[in-house]
């Protein structure tokens, strides 16, 4: 993928800016607590004829047993909810509206993972929500939601009313009330079913005031099985919104879940549909994969399903040259780079997109021309200490730890005098700059993927490597010995990127 732009706001849990881990493992409860469960089933009656896609949805709309679960037994505590989200929930609740946390944040809390963000759904109309908060706007045309600005973050709020208005596109029949359910439960169930038929779907709803988790379509079963699947048939879901293909990859990578057979097959069959997404959306989805602590796992899945060939063709070519199979368990230098970056990041501690773009550029430079280990070490140290080449060279020469012989990009160290070593470091910096320009050059990218649109480069990323050229009087302050400031890292401050 040609890098479209490097500036965008990371929505959740970060201070807003005008422009812009743990190693992944499977996290599944070994045993779920015994819960008091209310189960209901419903019947449907067909009214008239619909399209073939609607008929598929009708067949799937036989609602499974649904459950009301004690959130405390699931280990959910209100203290786990981000403070800005709590404030939005409390304001809407005090206004007399029903409010629920929905979707991935509920799943993540159950799995004891840190949610990337918190999404709210409410009985209030979106216009009421907008009037309630001083800084709030309605965004989206097809399925509008509210962006509530609270304490420097954005909290997304959707409305049941929007779901009901849009549901006519997906429903061609009425739904009878479930047996043995009171009116309040039925209304909530009906709202959830409507919402799950539109693209903003979710499997779990959490009422933090009643301490109840509502599971209407088998969300807990998917968590127990550690499985990623779509609400409606996968082919139908991905045709409705091809961005869900990338979302499925992202969720599987971050949680270590497997992907259901039907979903996996549809991802393969419809992978090229992601090219319909605009460049900004593609960058956002890839940033979610690479900047939040699951970069290595995401790259492996993108490669497995053929999406790396489409989105990052230069990196896919590297996998091909290395004889990397689609389900290969081995590592390579690119995956090793991201594995190390992942150890520093998490969903609530992301990095700016410039960091992972720089990693891609550095690796491409090394892949195109393998380098002496001493040169790579000194180059990295120079970035870390603010551009002091003499100090970096002195430290690099004292390193006696053997390099990893598995990676062909790393050449055995050879004896170089200080002048030659400095020249090699500066040449590597220029190679990284050239790699970045290649990755953002429409003509060169078209050689790997003819239909991919041209994209501009980022001066911010180019500045990373200019620091190596800085004179002693202009060099950046060394980060040595300081802790990472994750706010600055997410914002893209050079000082934090070098660390």
State phi, psi for 66 to the nearest 5 degrees: -115, 155
For residues 51 and 193, membership in a common domain is answered with: yes
Residues 378 and 301 in one domain: no
**Which residues have CB under 8 Å from 256's CB, separation 6+?**
24, 25, 26, 27, 226, 297
Say if residue 271 is in the same domain as residue 307: yes
Domain stops at, among 225, 253, 273: 225
CA within 13 Å, CB half, 30: 0
Residue in 224, 226, 296, 300 with CA at minimum distance from that of residue 256: 226
Residue 286 in any domain: the answer is yes
Co-location of 485 and 379 in the same domain: yes
Inside any domain, residue 425 = yes
Q: What is the pLDDT of residues 226-256, one digit of tens each?
A: 999 987 899 998 998 899 999 999 999 999 9
User: 119-123, 217-221, 314-318 — which is least confidently predicted?
Assistant: 217-221
- Would you say residue 254 lies in a domain? yes
Same domain for 474 and 409, yes or no, is yes
pLDDT of 21: 24
pLDDT tens figures, 268-277: 999 999 988 8
195/84 same-domain check? yes
pLDDT averaged over the chain? 76
Do 209 and 252 lie in one domain? The reply is no
CATH label of the domain that carries residue 94? 3.30.460.10
Task: Determine how many CB atoms are found less than 10 A away from the CB of residue 390.
Answer: 11
Are 219 and 297 found together in one domain? no
**Are 193 and 215 contained in the same domain?**
yes
Residue 37 lies in a domain: no
Count of structural domains, the chain: 3
349 secondary structure, DSSP code: B
Output the domain CATH number for residue 252.
Answer: 1.10.3090.10
Q: Examine residue 204 and state whether it is found in any structural domain, yes or no.
A: yes
| 49-63, 83-97, 186-200, 393-407: least confident range | 49-63
Q: Is residue 9 part of a domain?
A: no
Report the predicted TM-score, pTM, of the whole model to 2 decimal places.
Answer: 0.73
Query: Which of 195, 225, 255 marks a domain boundary?
Result: 225
The reply to whether 24 falls in a domain is no
Segments forming the whole domain that contains residue 149: 44-225
* Boundary-marking domain end, from 172, 207, 225: 225
Judgement on whether residues 220 and 238 belong to the same structural domain of the protein: no
* Residue 151 maps to a domain: yes
| Shared domain check, 310 and 265 | yes
Q: Are residues 206 and 240 in the same domain?
A: no
Q: What angle do CA 140, 145, 149 make, to 5 degrees?
A: 110
* pLDDT confidence of residue 88: 97
Question: In this predicted model, which residue has the larger pLDDT, 343 or 9?
Answer: 343
What is the spatial distance between Cα 89 and Cα 154, in angstroms, rounded to a whole number?
A: 13
């Amino acid at each position: 993928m040609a890098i479209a732009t490097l500036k965008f706001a990371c929505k959740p849990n970060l201070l807003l800016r005008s422009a812009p881990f743990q190693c992944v493992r499977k996290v599944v409860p070994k045993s779920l607590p015994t819960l008091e469960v209310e189960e209901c089933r419903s019947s449907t009656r067909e009214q008239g004829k619909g399209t073939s896609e609607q008929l598929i949805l009708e067949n799937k709309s036989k609602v499974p047993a649904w459950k009301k679960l004690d959130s405390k037994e699931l280990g959910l505590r209100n203290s786990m909810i981000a403070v800005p989200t709590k404030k939005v929930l409390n304001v809407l609740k005090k206004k007399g509206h029903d409010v629920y946390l929905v979707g991935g944040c509920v799943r993540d809390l159950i799995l004891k993972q840190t949610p990337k963000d918190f999404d709210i759904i409410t009985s209030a109309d979106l216009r009421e929500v907008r009037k309630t908060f001083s800084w709030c706007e309605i965004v989206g045309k097809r399925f509008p939601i509210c962006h509530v600005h609270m304490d420097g973050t954005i909290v997304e709020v959707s409305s049941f009313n929007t779901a009901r208005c849009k549901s006519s596109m997906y429903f061609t029949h009425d739904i009878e009330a479930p047996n043995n359910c009171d009116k309040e439960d039925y209304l909530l169930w009906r709202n959830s079913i409507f919402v799950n038929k539109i693209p903003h779907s979710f499997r779990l709803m959490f009422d933090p005031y009643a301490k109840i988790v509502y599971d209407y379509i088998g969300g807990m079963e998917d968590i127990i099985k550690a499985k990623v699947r779509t609400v409606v048939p996968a082919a139908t879901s991905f045709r409705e919104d091809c961005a869900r293909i990338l979302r499925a990859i992202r969720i599987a990578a971050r949680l270590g879940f497997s992907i259901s057979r039907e979903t996996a097959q549809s991802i393969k069959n419809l992978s090229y549909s992601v090219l319909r997404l605009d460049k900004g959306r593609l960058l956002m989805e890839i940033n979610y994969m690479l900047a939040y602590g699951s970069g290595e796992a995401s790259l492996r899945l993108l490669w497995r399903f053929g999406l790396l060939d489409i989105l990052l063709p230069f990196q896919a070519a590297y996998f091909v040259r290395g004889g990397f199979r689609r389900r290969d368990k081995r590592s390579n230098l690119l995956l090793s780079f991201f594995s190390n970056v992942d150890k520093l990041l998490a969903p609530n501690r992301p990095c700016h997109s410039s960091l992972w773009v720089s990693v891609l550029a550095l690796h491409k430079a090394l892949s195109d021309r393998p380098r002496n280990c001493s040169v790579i070490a000194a180059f990295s140290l120079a970035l870390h200490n603010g551009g002091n080449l003499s100090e970096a060279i002195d430290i690099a020469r004292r390193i006696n730890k053997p390099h990893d012989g598995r990676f062909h990009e790393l050449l055995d160290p050879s004896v170089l005098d200080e002048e030659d070593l400095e020249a090699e470091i500066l040449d590597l910096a220029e190679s990284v700059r050239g790699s970045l320009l290649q990755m953002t050059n429409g003509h060169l990218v078209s050689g790997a993927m003819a239909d991919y649109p041209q994209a501009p480069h980022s001066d911010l990323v180019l500045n990373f490597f200019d620091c190596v050229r800085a004179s002693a009087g202009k060099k950046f302050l060394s980060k040595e010995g300081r802790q990472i400031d994750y706010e600055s890292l997410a914002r893209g401050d050079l000082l934090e990127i070098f660390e």
